[in-house]
Structure 1
Amino acid sequence: MSENSERLMPKSCFECVKSIESVYTGGCVAISKDESRIFTTCNEDIEVLDLSSGEKLAELKGDTEIVTSFAVKPDGTHLVSASRSMRITVWDLSAFKNIRSFKAHDAPVIAMDIDQSSTLVATGSADSTVKVWDIDRGYCTHNFKGHGGIVTSVKFHPSKDCLCLVSASDDGVVRVWNLKTRKCEAVLQSHESVVRSIDFTNDDDGKHMVTAARDGVINVWNWKRKALVRTIPVYEAIEGAGLLLLGTNVGLDHIRKIGSDSNTQIIYSGGERGVIRLWDMNTGEEMFEKAKELNAKHTFVDVLYLPQSQNLVAITNDQNLLFYSATNQLERIRQIVGYNEEIIDMAYLSGTQEYLAVATNTEQLRVYNTSNLNCELAYGHKDIILCLDVHGKGCIVATGSKDNTAMIWMIDMRASPNRRVVCVATAVGHTKAVGAVSLAQGLDCPFMITGSEDRTVKMWDLSPLHKIFDDPKNAYDIVEEAGPIKLNSLYTFQAHDKDINSICISPGDNVFATGSQDKTAKIWDVATGKLLGTLQGHRRGVWNITFSPVDRVVATTSGDRMVKLWSLSDFTCLKTFEGHTNSVLCVEFLTKGTQLITTGSDGLIKLWNIKDGECVLTLDKHESKIWTLAKQSTEAFVATGGADSTIYIWKDTTQEEIDRLHMEEAKVLEQQQALDNFLFIKDYRNAITLALSLDQPHRMLTILQSVMVAAEHRHSLSPSTLDDSDLGSTNSEPRAILGTRSVDDVISTLAPDQLERLLGYVRNWNTNGKLARVAQATLHCILTHYTSQALLALPSAKEIITSVQPYSERHFSRLDSLLTDSFIIDYTLHAMDTVNADGMDYYSDSED
């Protein structure tokens, strides 16, 4: 490596600071009335998200059964959920805790609604019954029977004076229930299929009711007469419908053309076609249809209305939440991605580098804002995107897909929502899926190279895009007028004998490398497409290849669990890195080419020092294969994604860790000096306490030995030289156990954690004959000053105390009594005096 690189501080520590994971896997979605929170079904749990940022606030853990329905109180205090276990659960949303659970129906609850007073919840079940429950008290107030099929929708009438509930079933029958009389007021039969939505006009008494079904019609009913007013054919199976607020200015020229005024009641609908449509309730005419995105295949499974923000939220069958503005011609203004499928490839966009371009197991290109987890969805490909690459400018992204094409995208996240991600060019020519793509990194991005399952490599001329590259703000207008530019191939040749998995262009744009399932990697001349060298040595397919940013070397990863470093001078293998337990899928150079970071099928991330080939860090957080790895140009953050549908963002905390260790070392040095100072002035209380807090058994031993030796020295002198601290204040008091009364007093007043640590020291000292004297004296002091209850309250008391032999018959009885206070054990230690290596007593009963 270069001399400059060797002086760099190598990375040694990464910390996971954020994750982008699944928040919706299909099922019910609800939004709080104040529009601050969104609630989504995620397998057996319910996720609570901040509506403005998409950030997860909490997770309501389910009962291991799939959640079938839930509803949120209008006052936002509680959520009521139901699962396939046939139980209803009430959740406190202030603490996100389960406060009540009870059996509800004999079959799963399919539909649920809460009245405007936040008192009652109605549940419609697959057992054909409708029940009403008092939420706070948890008992059933009404049980309505009469439906002949599964109850698919329930709705309370919004008027406070009208205590009515409307329910509908999969046979198309709508029933109106009076809560006062507990009877069915009306049976409305007009639909021929599953009724999915019920809503009321927002006038004073809800004069009209709207029902929508999968039979492709929307019915308008007069509420007072319970009579059908109008049938609106929509020619698609409706999954979600309702009414916009009266007088909503939707900003559509079509309204004025048909002569509607501000009092027009507007119905919204969405279903199998995957588009939002608006209807005039009075005339039944279609007012507006939002055009579907290019090559989008989704359908809508529900549509929610947010009256405060005047947005419509469409929930798609591929688990995305699309937000449309009701006041701006239904422009799609935002997306929340509920489920990512597998994360196949990703890369950071330059600039602020807070955006991450992601390819998942879908046909959409996704651009995540890693600061708030909002996501842009870009439609264009007809099949799954398999690979992507980002130009150094950051606003140019190339993608390759299973639809046999590659695309060039311009990204401007500061533009209006429909202009942020624009497909500006397509590359058509491969006969099979495009599995590898790489952009030239020159300032003008002159070309792109793609590799395919058809085993060919193509070079594409990007010069026709320079006008767009130079003026990215107008990319949308240019493409809208003429459509995406069709790129021309400069050359095509067969590069490998099997699928091409990876392509990488060198930093100087003069050579490029390919890696293939045929177990080889190859180096090619960019200008001519001539083969320069073949890298042979892997025993299985090569998954990834990348160039060093500073040296003439490349790194490859393979299914043989190895990472290899190759010389571009003679195409020989320079180093082999082994440590992964399964296929190594991705590799990147870090720290100016002095380190490698790799990911594998074993779910591990490994950091390697190239110089010594040592793995210095292993990160284990993913639950499955890690297909992709992305790094910021500053290398401050690294992102990983894989088959567990989760993206983890890792922060380089090497400097923070070094600073922390330095601070700890400085603190220890200060404490060591303080300990020396305490010993110098014979401040034994602080010295012993500090030695215990520093967990320094040797210093503790030295303190006790020095005190005991000094006491013995004084004891050998004339008794007249001893002071009260050694003998006690009166002749009836025993001599200090540890040599001086001040030390005994310290031992007798230790905190429980300090006492437990000291007992651990005693156990270890007692195994060494030379140290047993101090151990026995310390144990004597502890047993003298602490009660059995105090010692037995220590977590590891039995283990420590039973491993220490007592030094006398009297203290054996004391210890045995202590143990049998709380434990029934067969304790057979015999009383004995501890004898030192010279055969002399360390401490005898007569000295006590």
Structure 2
Amino acid sequence: MKFAYRFSNLLGAVYRQGNLNFSKDGNAVISPVGNRISIFDLKNNTSETLPISTTKNITCVGISPNGNLAIVVDEDGAALLVSLITRAILHHFHFHKPVHSISFSPDGRKFVVTKENVALMYHAPGKQREFNAFVLDKSYYGPYDETTCIDWTTDSKCFAVGSKDMSTWVFGAERWANLIYYSLGGHKDVIVGCFFEKDSLDLYTVSQDGTLCIWESDTEPDGLVLSKKRLQREEQEGNEDDEESMEGQEGEIVRGKAHTQKDKENTKNVRYKQASKHFFNKEGDFNNLTSAAFHKPTHILVTGFASGIFHLHELPEFNLIHSLSISNQRIASVAINSSGDWIGFGCSRLGQLLVWEWQSESYVFKQQGHFNNMASLAYSPDGQYIATGGDDGKVKVWNSNSGLCFVTFTEHSSSVSQVTFTSSGMVVVSASLDGTVRAFDLHRYRNFRTFTSPRPAQFSSLAVDVSGDLVCAGAQDSFEIFLWSMQTGRLLEVLGGHEGPVSSLCFSPVQSILASASWDKTVRLWDMLDSWQVKETLALTSDGLAVTYRPDGQELAVATLNGEISFWSPQSAAQTGSVTGRHDLELGRKETDKVTAKQTAKGKSFTSVCYSADGEAILAGGQSKFVCIYNVKEQMLMKKFEISCNLSFDAMEEFLDRRKMTEFGSLALVDDGAGDGEGVNISLPGVRKGDMSSRHFKPEIRVSSLRFSPTGRSWAATSTEGLLIYSLDGSMVFDPYDLDLDVTPESIHKQLRLKEWTSAIVLAFRLNERALKQEVIETVPHDQIGVVCGSLPEIYVEKLLGFIASCLEKSGHLQFYMSWAQSLLMLHGQKLKNRSGAILPTLQALQKAIQRHYDSLSKLCDFNKYNIRYAVALSKQRGVKRVAEEAAGEEDEEDEDDLSEERSEASVEEAEMIL
């Protein structure tokens, strides 16, 4: 389907809240971003957002030891069981209360969830399909306040739970006779982390006030003894089925040695004693210890503080290895990868994610999103880059392929209202409310032009013409449009005439004509070639909010305040049609609204519009969770996308929850009062219940900017969640084609051994597993590529060409994959030409990959060429110098010979005189 766009990736946000996790191999960070999960591949420097979402923001994530499963829990306790292999949701569950932490046992058979003051142990989901994948095994009670953290022993026999009541509890995962539970004190603040030593019951506990307690156990893990009831139950199960009993005994051997009554009588209860107590360097009450992680094989403890400092200590000696300040905000989460080399840090207030390699003291990964709302976005002409501007005054440029930001410009001192690329794609221009328009160079990453107005003005709109020579910005306070030259940086003209703030500007793609929309209910067309005069004035029915040209310049679309999108012909200045989109927005109702969502929608409208690449459709979004695609010719709604289902945002629900209604009105408008029982006080804006000095911010869902990519294969939207990418090229992990029982990896490898290259490629593409396809293609000898391409069935040519394009983008085997592409295009060029429309995206992807390698290699070759020239010139210079030195040396020798001859003649004369 033409509009079958699906969610592809989330950019502009890398971390919000919750705990970080590393993948099993330690090469990827799994980070919760709002109500979604993003995976950042540190080896390949790419990011991926899973196509799953919870109903509210995610608070904790648990990863199974084999790295195949993840349990994701949101603020209300709703849990999802997710397969990290297929990216699919396997099971839904609800814990009915907020969950503080979740942890799998090292053997992968159990997992523990802490909520309120209870620890719940569940059987881990298995490979078989189950009606309920979450089977409760035991409930553990002990702490008097909310639990905060969990840690397992290496052999999965016991686990420890930290609590806000300043105590740590050690529980047995089985019914041990000598360890039912054990409570540890010694702290004066909330327990942040508790960690077992490797292959031991020794324990480390860390509290919020910066105290570390080291606890030693008098029992080894092998000294734990099963209780009598547990032994009797095992014996009964063993008598029922001999085969099962043998398997059960093998599985239970590691859980305890003593199986006889005599051994049980000789066992003593497990006891702990405090071996030592250490204190971290404190700089006042604000520097609380907020997060901790411990790597058992290397005995490294990492602690993060509220001031943005982290420490590395070696335990149990408590030797300080390293200390660094990474930000000025609270470190919310710390994680260590499996090898212990990389440490991940998450700062929730800044939306920052860092990965630090402590041995080399360098950043492996450093990303930060806009920590305020995004205001605008722009695609580069080739679609490789996306520039965004935010209310934090930053301009960021993202790689659309990797999903990562590679440069941030911080020159603006106020909100960035608009960003755009020039036609060359190497210059980003941004307008800001600080009264400046700045141009940034993507070659040298610098601000090389700054445009200002004679009087300070807040610029709310921006446009650059096709040649990249003219830059214009509209002011929202002086109602004027300022025009500058990109070459000289001088102000060329001030265009006056609007009687309201200028809300949007757009240059025609084919002519030098500027369209400006204003709140004065007009759109003016300015001729840049004829003394910058007004060519036409289009009268609107309401305030103009956004204006855009069709890619061929033959039509103009204007979004107005009454929720309509009107279409105009620039040549005749006549309206050709309109779309009423107010009812398509389907606005939600805020918690504090006193009118219904239907009444609220009457005052809402589209704030951003954008034509598709072919000009047949228009994309529109505004203060709503929906983005609409309209057919321009038919003037009807084609598809509507819900960009978010996150109830943690405001204005998401259409109807008010009656459970939140009281006799005084909505609970969102009512505060609990001062506690003296004299009635209910209306709270101040932003103040939540409890502490009157604390602020609570619940952002409203909205779409501030929309853009289609130049290829038309994807579109992007800046929203409250971040930068959302919707694409037609949704990659699936397993998507077989024409599959039957004979198509297996074994049969493919058999064809490879028989050197049947063509049939092996066909079978691999029918099974459609990426790793297998790459293995088959790279096994084909280089001299057989032409033969294989010539004998390939026509239906697989396009599939193979698309796969070659995707491999060429990341692979280092340039000549090999270029040979494949050349052979396919030369041998099947005529057939592909007949299907040029369908295969155009594949050819564009191939061209983009080749151009990317060409740019990088050309830079490298130029660098090497100049280095070689420098080395040659230097060697020549040294050679000339050496020749000169040798010549000077010969002259010195001749002078010495003459001097010696003179001395010998003088000595002969002296001898003759003496005689």
When normalised by structure 1's length, the TM-score is 0.55
Paired residue for 1:156?
A: 196
Aligned residues of 1:48 and 1:56 also touching (Cα < 8 A): yes
Q: Say yes or no: does 1:124 pair with 2:179.
A: no
Q: Say yes or no: does 1:270 pair with 2:325.
A: yes
Matches within 5 A, 1:184-203: 184-188=274-278, 193=285, 194-196=288-290
What SS does the aligned partner of 2:5 have? strand
Question: Cα–Cα, structure 1 residues 106 and 382, in superposed 2: closer, same or farther, change >3 Å?
Answer: farther
Paired residue for 1:547?
A: 549
Partner amino acid, structure 2, of 1:35: G
Aligned residues of 1:126 and 1:150 also touching (Cα < 8 A): yes
Q: 2:408 aligns with which of 332, 353, 378?
A: 378
Deviations 1:235-261 (A, max 9, x none): xx355322599xxxxxxxxxxxxxxxx
How much does 1:441 deviate?
2.1
How much does 1:126 deviate?
0.9
Q: Say yes or no: does 1:640 pair with 2:704.
A: no
How much does 1:144 deviate?
0.9
Paired residue for 2:484?
A: 460
Paired residue for 1:717?
A: none
Deviation larger for 140-149 or 340-349: 340-349
Q: 1:319 aligns with which of 331, 339, 351?
A: 351
Deviations 1:147-176 (A, max 9, x none): 232223334345x4x643222333444322
Deviations 1:181-222 (A, max 9, x none): 322233445755534466889998x6x9887766xxxxxxxx
Q: Say yes or no: does 1:242 pair with 2:282.
A: no
Deviations 1:579-608 (A, max 9, x none): 442412222233644443333445444444
How much does 1:432 deviate?
4.8
Question: Cα–Cα, structure 1 residues 190 and 553, in superposed 2: closer, same or farther, change >3 Å?
Answer: closer
Q: 2:6 aligns with which of 16, 20, 25?
A: 16
How much does 1:18 deviate?
1.8
Q: Say yes or no: does 1:596 pair with 2:627.
A: no
Matches within 5 A, 1:479-490: 487-490=489-492
Partner amino acid, structure 2, of 1:109: T
Partner amino acid, structure 2, of 1:512: L
What SS does the aligned partner of 1:34 have? coil
Q: 1:631 aligns with which of 695, 708, 728?
A: 708
Gaps of 5+ in 1: 1-10, 215-236, 246-263, 275-297, 413-418, 465-486, 654-848
How much does 1:83 deviate?
4.4
Question: Cα–Cα, structure 1 residues 638 and 461, in superposed 2: closer, same or farther, change >3 Å?
Answer: same
What SS does the aligned partner of 1:569 have? coil
Paired residue for 2:185?
A: 145
Gaps of 5+ in 2: 51-69, 79-96, 219-270, 584-603, 646-700, 731-915
What SS does the aligned partner of 1:54 have? strand
Question: Cα–Cα, structure 1 residues 75 and 603, in superposed 2: closer, same or farther, change >3 Å?
Answer: same
Aligned residues of 1:580 and 1:604 also touching (Cα < 8 A): no
How much does 1:504 deviate?
1.0
Paired residue for 1:491?
A: 493
Deviations 1:437-495 (A, max 9, x none): 222222xx22322223333322233226xxxxxxxxxxxxxxxxxxxxxx543334555
How much does 1:545 deviate?
0.6
> What is the distance in 2 between the residues matched to 1:377 and 1:90?
45
Q: 1:25 aligns with which of 3, 7, 16?
A: 16
Question: Cα–Cα, structure 1 residues 555 and 135, in superposed 2: closer, same or farther, change >3 Å?
Answer: farther
Aligned residues of 1:32 and 1:72 also touching (Cα < 8 A): no
Paired residue for 1:585?
A: 607
Matches within 5 A, 1:352-501: 353-376=383-406, 378-380=408-410, 381-411=412-442, 423-429=447-453, 431-442=456-467, 445-454=468-477, 455-463=479-487, 487-494=489-496, 496-501=498-503
Paired residue for 1:60?
A: 72
Paired residue for 1:510?
A: 512
How much does 1:630 deviate?
1.2
Question: Cα–Cα, structure 1 residues 155 and 602, in superposed 2: closer, same or farther, change >3 Å?
Answer: closer
Paired residue for 2:747?
A: none
> What is the distance in 2 between the residues matched to 1:559 and 1:569?
25
RMSD of equivalent CA atoms:
4.3
When normalised by structure 2's length, the TM-score is 0.51
Aligned residues of 1:113 and 1:122 also touching (Cα < 8 A): yes
What SS does the aligned partner of 2:728 have? strand
> What is the distance in 2 between the residues matched to 1:79 and 1:406?
55
> What is the distance in 1 between the residues matched to 2:613 and 2:295?
63
How much does 1:131 deviate?
1.6
More helix by share: 2
Partner amino acid, structure 1, of 2:464: L
Q: How many residues align?
A: 541
> What is the distance in 2 between the residues matched to 1:405 and 1:244?
51
Partner amino acid, structure 2, of 1:599: G
Aligned residues of 1:497 and 1:518 also touching (Cα < 8 A): yes
Partner amino acid, structure 2, of 1:461: S
> What is the distance in 2 between the residues matched to 1:12 and 1:187?
66
Partner amino acid, structure 1, of 2:217: L
Question: Cα–Cα, structure 1 residues 400 and 73, in superposed 2: closer, same or farther, change >3 Å?
Answer: farther
Q: Say yes or no: does 1:535 pair with 2:538.
A: yes
Deviations 1:66-100 (A, max 9, x none): 44345566678876554457555668487796454
> What is the distance in 2 between the residues matched to 1:80 and 1:532?
71
Matches within 5 A, 1:644-655: 644-645=721-722, 647-651=724-728
Partner amino acid, structure 1, of 2:480: T
> What is the distance in 2 between the residues matched to 1:587 and 1:632?
14
How much does 1:560 deviate?
0.8
> What is the distance in 2 between the residues matched to 1:511 and 1:136?
78
Q: Say yes or no: does 1:176 pair with 2:253.
A: no
Paired residue for 2:845?
A: none
How much does 1:27 deviate?
3.4
> What is the distance in 1 between the residues matched to 2:559 and 2:438?
26
